[in-house]
Amino acid sequence: MSDAERIVIVGASLTGARAAEGARDAGFEGEILLIGDEPELPYERPPLSKDYLQGKRDDLSWVHEESFYADNRVELRTSTFVSGIDPSARTVLIEGSDPEPYDRLLLATGAEPRRIDIPGADLDGVHYLRTVADSAKLRDLFGEGARVVVVGAGWIGSEVAASAREKGCEVTVVEPQEVPLEKVLGTEIGAVYRDVHLEHGVDFKGGTGVEAFLGDGKVEKVRTTAGEVEADLVVVGIGVVPRTGLAEMAGLGLNNGVPVDAGLRTEAEGIYAAGDIANQFHAFYGERIRVEHWANARRQGFAAGRSMAGAEVVYDDLPYFYSDQYDVGMEYVGYATDWDEVVIRGDKEAREFIAFWLKDGRIQAGMNVNIWDVSDTIGELIKSGEPVDLAALADPETELATLAD
Ligand SMILES: Cc1cc2nc3c(=O)[nH]c(=O)nc-3n(C[C@H](O)[C@H](O)[C@H](O)COP(=O)(O)OP(=O)(O)OC[C@H]3O[C@@H](n4cnc5c(N)ncnc54)[C@H](O)[C@@H]3O)c2cc1C
């Protein structure tokens, strides 16, 4: 790509800010315009359900220090909503401003919380969590004795429940599956998280649906399939949906997000996508996957920047994410949607263990809980694609790294 050309990035969060860095890293000398509708500098979201939400910190985790943008000649335009794309004119449209031309365009518009569609969903006191503004509002409301009902026990719901307990709230979690995180972790490991929450005083209602939010203007109760629960506020965490409106306007086909190839290119000439919005053909898995996690936004965003700058890119990093709830920290590497076996290495009761999800004797994913510095080795085991000795895998005395040989 010639240095006279211009990269425009829509979405100034982790993916977008890392893409700007990636383009410069690949030697791109042209203009970079990074546009986002939030007022802050690009920041990372994980603290918003953890220590920021608990009031243990007030600062944000910036993707880059403010000086990065000027130093790297990245024009950052915050509080600016992109309302459309004209792929034939190669411009993005901003209300009240002239269209902005691009030679390469990155869609890094991320995802937004899935809205719940039940009676009472519009009542005051029904909240979602995505932005720092959402988190700041919730942390003001989380106080000693506040009755908080969390709908959904995925990662966000589970972390919000833990943070609300840390702030002294009375917390009920309502989840249609029997245990938290059942879809990702299965029932055995999900039960570890259920027990952690129960021990910390959460009223976990598994196998329970939510039927309605009740109240006069403001939520007062949640009607569930197991009866009514009093609520001062509700936090809904039932997953996210990719923000594909612009992609659709640009005429791109959608398939659980915006399909991209291994170099993060969409089907439209000059348009790329990365992060939560992108459904990438993953060279290692040989199929499309869309990953809604921090590490993917960080690394795939960077890779997309490099790709836009003309570097040869095949993004095939394994998915990775982490979660902190109370004193239980974990990291998860890999991607397992179905498995025939879960092998535990270590002490599940003491919450110091590694769980492996296997199919046909091969490790698909691994999760280390309160054990550190092993995720790279787990990744190597997964990438080797070799069957492993199950007894050795379960035995903490056998060095993990030797199994990768
Ligand atoms: C509370 C919370 C906690 C999390 N914790 C973890 C964790 O512990 N571990 C983990 O692995 N992952 C975690 N995640 C997930 C992780 O934060 C996301 O995967 C990551 O933010 C995705 O980055 P992104 O840049 O692709 O999208 P986003 O962060 O969604 O950013 C997209 C940006 O684009 C902007 N935008 C969208 N449309 C437009 C438009 N038309 N014009 C201008 N701007 C637009 C949005 O406002 C937003 O600023 C968490 C997420 C949340 C919400």
CATH code: domain of residue 195: 3.50.50.60
Does residue 209 fall inside a structural domain? yes
Q: Is the CB of 293 under 6 A from ligand 1?
A: yes
Question: Of all protein residues, whose CA lies closest to atom 35 belonging to ligand 1?
Answer: 11
Q: Is the CB of 297 under 6 A from ligand 1?
A: yes
Q: Are residues 134 and 102 in the same domain?
A: no
Q: Are residues 130 and 108 in the same domain?
A: no
Does residue 181 fall inside a structural domain? yes
Least confident of 281-285, 289-293, 321-325, 332-336: 281-285
Does residue 94 fall inside a structural domain? yes
Does residue 138 fall inside a structural domain? yes
Question: Of all protein residues, whose CA lies closest to atom 30 belonging to ligand 1?
Answer: 110
Does residue 80 fall inside a structural domain? yes
Q: Are residues 228 and 133 in the same domain?
A: yes
Closest atom of ligand 1 relative to the 47 alpha carbon:
3
Q: Are residues 359 and 387 in the same domain?
A: yes
CB 49 within 8 A of CB 57: no
Domain boundary among 280, 308, 336: 308
Q: Are residues 108 and 254 in the same domain?
A: yes
Which residue bears the tokens 């110091």? Answer: 352
Q: Are residues 49 and 101 in the same domain?
A: yes
Return phi, psi of residue 360, to 5°. 50, 40
pLDDT digits (tens, 9 = 90+) for 116-164: 999 999 999 999 999 999 999 999 999 999 999 999 999 999 999 999 9
**Shortest CA distance to 17 belongs to which of 298, 244, 319?**
298
Which CATH number goes with the domain that contains 332?
3.30.390.30
Ligand 1 center to residue 214 CA distance, Å?
A: 30
Ligand 1 center to residue 156 CA distance, Å?
A: 12
Q: Are residues 171 and 87 in the same domain?
A: no
Does residue 120 fall inside a structural domain? no
Pairing of strands 352-359, 341-347: antiparallel
Q: Is the CB of 400 under 6 A from ligand 1?
A: no
Q: Is the CB of 390 under 6 A from ligand 1?
A: no
Domain boundary among 201, 220, 236: 236
Does residue 1 fall inside a structural domain? no
Q: Are residues 28 and 71 in the same domain?
A: yes
Q: Are residues 42 and 69 in the same domain?
A: yes
Q: Helices 294-308 and 14-25 sit at what angle, rounded to 10 degrees?
A: 40
Does residue 56 fall inside a structural domain? yes
pLDDT digits (tens, 9 = 90+) for 33-43: 999 999 999 99
Q: Are residues 221 and 244 in the same domain?
A: no
Q: Is the CB of 111 under 6 A from ligand 1?
A: yes
pLDDT of residue 174: 98
Q: Are residues 206 and 252 in the same domain?
A: no
pLDDT of residue 284: 87
Query: Taking the model in full, what pTM does it have?
Result: 0.97
Residue 2 pLDDT greater than 70, yes or no: no
Ligand 1 center to residue 193 CA distance, Å?
A: 24
Pairing of strands 126-127, 233-236: parallel
User: How many structural domains comprise the chain?
Assistant: 3
CB 9 within 8 A of CB 102: no
Neighbours of 350 (CB within 10 A): 9
pLDDT of residue 4: 65
Ligand 1 center to residue 15 CA distance, Å?
A: 8
Give the chain's mean pLDDT: 96
Question: Of all protein residues, whose CA lies closest to atom 4 belonging to ligand 1?
Answer: 46
Q: Is the CB of 53 under 6 A from ligand 1?
A: no
Question: Of all protein residues, whose CA lies closest to atom 52 belonging to ligand 1?
Answer: 45
Ligand 1 pocket: which of 82, 114, 293 to mutate (most atoms within 8 A of CB) = 293
Q: Are residues 151 and 224 in the same domain?
A: yes
Domain boundary among 249, 279, 308: 308
Domain range for 215 is: 126-236
